Amino acid sequence: MSKETVNLSLANPRGFCAGVDRAILIVEKALEKYGAPIYVHHEVVHNKYVINNLKKKGAIFVDSIKDIPKTSHVIFSAHGVSKAIKKEAQDFNLIAIDATCPLVTKVHGEVNKLSEQEHTIIMIGHKGHPEVEGTMGQINKNSSNSQIHLVESVRDVKKLNLLDSNKLSYVSQTTLSMDDTKKIIDSLKNKYPLISGPKNDDICYATQNRQEAVKKMLGKHDLIFVIGSKNSSNSNRLAEIAKEKKIDAILIDNMSDFKESWLKNKKNIGVTAGASAPELLVQELITEIKKTKDILISEIKGIEETIIFKLPKI
Ligand code: SF4
């Protein structure tokens, strides 16, 4: 029996960003230079495939500095860490290599500068995400200079009880929804006219470009696959953009989860990948679809990314 033909378009840009590329390379180079095991504080990037691959090469991922033998090498993940974690690593005589994405480090710099200027800071982000913990952790909880408060939604802004002042500022997580963040910033500006912040927000180029690329697929597709892990913030945001427009969107991490039934009555399928998902998984998904469908593949034109971040000294 002949197979049904479906159109499959690939979003651009998709997949690895410069910060993820750099973080993975840092772990690989450290393994090459110092040999296994190399300890990594938290998942270096939020992708199961990448983590399992690095585990096979000898990386050990830990959630606590206390789990690392003294004098070992430790790599801080692309999401960045708090000052307390850096201090703890020092106290344990660990040799730290920092894989924090330079765009997250930039936000840490903003927070530190604002704290020196005794500002009260509002962080827009998702509670419990390692990047948010690292950024908020630039300020000591008992600091008398500065305070930092987390808001996740417009509702949280309504609950804030702060004085409007020109010493009130906001920063944001780098991987948020551009649209939701704009709404939160607008409500902050409305409630606190004197508040200041970065020109737009701190959402990074890779998150913005991938969100714009998914928006281009809306209206033309009846199913959008987003390759990414469940704990990947930027991948989840990509799926949300499609779902908000009532388009079926499936976040898929591992092709063993693939269900043929997802393709039923779908003629135009879009595929993208979060900033921490390798292209290899996109190709694996295409192979899965080809098992039951003939496909006409096209690439959707998008912004060409040329950013590369320098590696730290390893
Ligand atoms: S998603 Fe953005 S902030 Fe995160 S690692 Fe990539 S470039 Fe850096």
Q: Is the pLDDT of residue 29 over 90?
A: yes
Do 137 and 182 have their domain in common? Answer: yes
Whether the per-residue pLDDT at 141 is higher than 80: the answer is no
Sign of CA dihedral 258, 260, 264, 266: positive
Q: What are the pLDDT digits (tens) for 148-171?
A: 999 999 999 999 999 999 999 999
Task: Report the C-alpha gap between 255 and 62 in whole angstroms.
Answer: 26
For ligand 1, the distance from its centroid to the CA atom of residue 206, given in whole angstroms, is 6
Name all residues whose Cβ lies below 6 A of ligand 1.
17-20, 78, 101, 103-104, 174-175, 204, 206-207, 234, 275
Tokens 């504080």 sit on residue = 41
Cα angle at 17 between 134 and 276, to 5 degrees?
Answer: 70
* Structural domain ending residue among the three candidates 73, 101, 129: 101
Instruction: Give residue 201's pLDDT.
Output: 82
Q: Which residues are catalytic?
A: 131
| Per-residue pLDDT, 158 | 98
pLDDT at 140 over 90: no
CA 23 to centroid of ligand 1, rounded, Å = 10
Q: What are residue 251's DSSP bridge partners?
A: 226
Task: Choose one of 204, 229, 310 to mutate for the ligand 1 pocket test, by most ligand atoms within 8 angstroms of C-beta.
Answer: 204
Question: What are 249-278's pLDDT values in tens digits?
Answer: 999 999 999 999 999 999 999 999 999 999
Rounded to 5 degrees, what are φ and ψ at 285? -65, -40
d(CA 18, CA 132): 20
- Closest residue by Cα to atom 5, ligand 1, is 19
With respect to residue 307, please indicate whether it lies within any of the assigned structural domains: no
CA dist., res. 279 & res. 299, Å (int): 14
pLDDT value at residue 271: 98
Strand partners, 59: 38
125 alpha carbon – ligand 1 mean position (Å): 14
Q: Is residue 308 part of a domain?
A: no
Share of the chain above pLDDT 90, in %: 95
Confidence of residue 39 (pLDDT cuts 50, 70, 90): very high
Sheet with 223-227: strands ordered across: 248-252, 223-227, 268-273, 4-10, 293-299
Residue nearest to atom 2 of ligand 1 (CA): 204
**Mean pLDDT, to the nearest integer, of 181-207?**
95
Would you say residue 238 lies in a domain?
A: yes
Per-residue pLDDT for 143 more than 80? no
Pick the residue whose CA is nearest to atom 4 on ligand 1.
Answer: 19
Name the strand (E) or helix (H) holding 293. Answer: strand 293-299
Q: What pLDDT score does 13 carry? A: 98
**Does 92 score more than 90 pLDDT?**
yes
C-alpha span between 298 and 277 (Å, rounded): 20
**Cα of 296 to ligand 1 centre, how many Å?**
31
By residue range, what is the domain housing residue 118? 103-191
Please tell me the predicted confidence (pLDDT) of residue 142.
Answer: 73
CATH number of residue 90's parent domain = 3.40.50.11270
Give the closest residue (by CA) to ligand 1 atom 8.
Answer: 19
282 pLDDT above the threshold of 80 = yes
**Is the bond preceding 102 in cis, omega lying within 30 degrees of 0?**
no
Angle, in degrees to the nearest 10, between helices 18-34 and 102-116: 100
pLDDT at residue 200 above 80? no
Residue 169 is assigned to a structural domain of this protein: yes
- Structure confidence at residue 145 (pLDDT): 73
Can you list the alpha helix ranges (DSSP code H) found in the chain? 18-34, 48-57, 83-91, 102-116, 130-136, 154-159, 178-191, 205-217, 233-244, 279-290
Nearest to 98 by CA among 191, 166, 199, 30: 30
Amino acid 138: pLDDT: 96
How far does residue 249's CA lie from ligand 1's centre (Å)?
22
Q: Which of 101, 132, 164 is the last residue of a domain?
A: 101
What order do you get walking across the sheet with 73-76 strand by strand? 59-62, 38-41, 73-76, 95-98
Digit-coded pLDDT (tens) for 167-193: 999 999 999 999 999 999 999 999 999
Distance between CA atoms of residues 52 and 277, nearest Å: 13
CATH number of the domain residue 12 falls in: 3.40.1010.20
CA-proximal residue: ligand 1, atom 7 (nearest): 19
Number of domains in the chain: 3
Do 108 and 80 form a contact (C-beta atoms < 8 A)?
Answer: yes
**35 and 77 in one domain?**
yes
Question: Residue 146's pLDDT is what?
Answer: 80
Residue 28: which residues within 8 A CB-CB, separation 6 or more?
Answer: 54, 57
Choice from 103, 106, 171, 238 to test ligand 1 binding pocket (greatest atom count within 8 A of CB): 103
Q: What percent of the chain has pLDDT over 70?
A: 99
Mean pLDDT of all residues in the chain? 96
